[in-house]
Amino acid sequence: MKRITVPLLCIFTIFMISPSRSLSQSQEKKPTKAWYETISLRGYVQVRYNRLLETNKNLKCEQCDVSWGDNGGFAIRRGRLIFSGNLTDRIFFYIQPDFGSRTGTTLQIFQLRDAYIDIGFDKKNEFRLRVGQSKVPFGFENLQSSQNRIPLDRADAFNSAVSNERDMGAFFYYAPASTRALFASLVRDNLKGSGDYGVFGLGVYNGQTANRPELNNTLHIVSRLSYPIEIGSQIIEPGIQAHIGKFVVPAENRSTGVKSIKSFEFNDKRMAGSFVLYPKPFGIQAEYNIGNGPQYNPIKDSIEQRNLKGGYATFTYKAKGKRKDEYFFPFTRLQTYDGGKKHELDARSYRVREIESGVEWQVNKSLEITASYVISDRRFEDSRLKNNSQKGRLLRLQAQLNF
Best CA proximity match to 35, nearest among 82, 84, 88 = 88
**Domain range holding 118?**
36-402
Q: Tell me if 215 is assigned to some domain.
A: yes
Q: Tell me if 7 is assigned to some domain.
A: no
Q: Is 142 exposed, middle or buried (0-12, 13-18, 19+ CB in 10 A)?
A: buried
Q: Tell me if 10 is assigned to some domain.
A: no
Q: What is the mean pLDDT of residues 128-133?
A: 98
Best CA proximity match to 171, nearest among 97, 229, 119 = 119
Element (H, E) at 14: helix 2-17
* 313 SS3 class: strand
- Please list, in sequence order, all residues whose beta carbon lies within 8 angstroms of the beta carbon of residue 390, skipping any fewer than 6 positions away: 56, 58, 59, 60, 376, 377, 378, 379, 380
Best CA proximity match to 272, nearest among 369, 388, 142, 397 = 142
Q: Which residues of 175-258 form beta strands (DSSP E)?
A: 200-205, 220-226, 229-231, 234-248
Q: Is 71 exposed, middle or buried (0-12, 13-18, 19+ CB in 10 A)?
A: exposed
Q: Report the mean per-residue pLDDT for the chain.
A: 92
Cα 11 to chain center, whole Å?
Answer: 65
128 phi, psi to nearest 5 deg: -150, 155
**Predicted confidence (pLDDT) at residue 308 exceeds the cutoff of 80:** yes
**Predicted confidence (pLDDT) at residue 83 exceeds the cutoff of 70:** yes
**Predicted confidence (pLDDT) at residue 5 exceeds the cutoff of 90:** no
Higher pLDDT residue, 36 or 195?
A: 195
In this predicted structure, what is the pLDDT of residue 3? 42
In this predicted structure, what is the pLDDT of residue 15? 33
Residue 306, Cβ neighbours under 10 Å: how many?
17
Q: What is the mean pLDDT of residues 191-197?
A: 97
In this predicted structure, what is the pLDDT of residue 102? 81
Q: What is the mean pLDDT of residues 307-328?
A: 97
> Directed axis angle between helix 2-17 and helix 19-28, to 10°?
60
**Predicted confidence (pLDDT) at residue 2 exceeds the cutoff of 90:** no
Residue 315, Cβ neighbours under 10 Å: how many?
17
Q: Tell me if 267 is assigned to some domain.
A: yes
Distance CA 363, CA 369 (A): 7
Q: Tell me if 26 is assigned to some domain.
A: no
Mind listing the pLDDT tens digit for each residue in 16-50?
A: 334 443 334 444 445 577 767 789 999 999 999 99
In this predicted structure, what is the pLDDT of residue 31? 57
Q: Tell me if 245 is assigned to some domain.
A: yes
- Cα–Cα separations (whole angstroms), residue 233 to 64, 280, 315, 327, 329: 35, 8, 18, 19, 19
Q: What is the mean pLDDT of residues 52-66?
A: 94
Mind listing the pLDDT tens digit for each residue in 117-126?
A: 999 999 999 9
Best CA proximity match to 339, nearest among 383, 390, 289 = 289
In this predicted structure, what is the pLDDT of residue 106? 83
**Predicted confidence (pLDDT) at residue 7 exceeds the cutoff of 50:** no
- Vertex 55, ends 51 and 56: CA angle to 5°? 90
Distance CA 359, CA 398 (A): 11
Distance CA 302, CA 96 (A): 37
Percent of the chain with pLDDT over 90: 86
Confidence (pTM): 0.89
Paired strand residues for 290:
271, 309
Mind listing the pLDDT tens digit for each residue in 205-224?
A: 999 999 999 999 999 999 99
Q: Tell me if 126 is assigned to some domain.
A: yes
In this predicted structure, what is the pLDDT of residue 25? 41
Structural domains of the chain, count = 1
Mind listing the pLDDT tens digit for each residue in 91-114?
A: 999 999 999 888 777 888 889 999
Q: Tell me if 316 is assigned to some domain.
A: yes
Mind listing the pLDDT tens digit for each residue in 145-171?
A: 999 999 999 999 999 999 999 999 999
Mind listing the pLDDT tens digit for each residue in 359-393?
A: 999 999 999 999 999 999 999 999 999 999 999 99
CATH for 184: 2.40.160.10
Residue 70, Cβ neighbours under 10 Å: how many?
11
In this predicted structure, what is the pLDDT of residue 16? 36
- Cα–Cα separations (whole angstroms), residue 311 to 78, 115, 156, 308, 336: 24, 29, 8, 11, 6
**Predicted confidence (pLDDT) at residue 297 exceeds the cutoff of 70:** yes
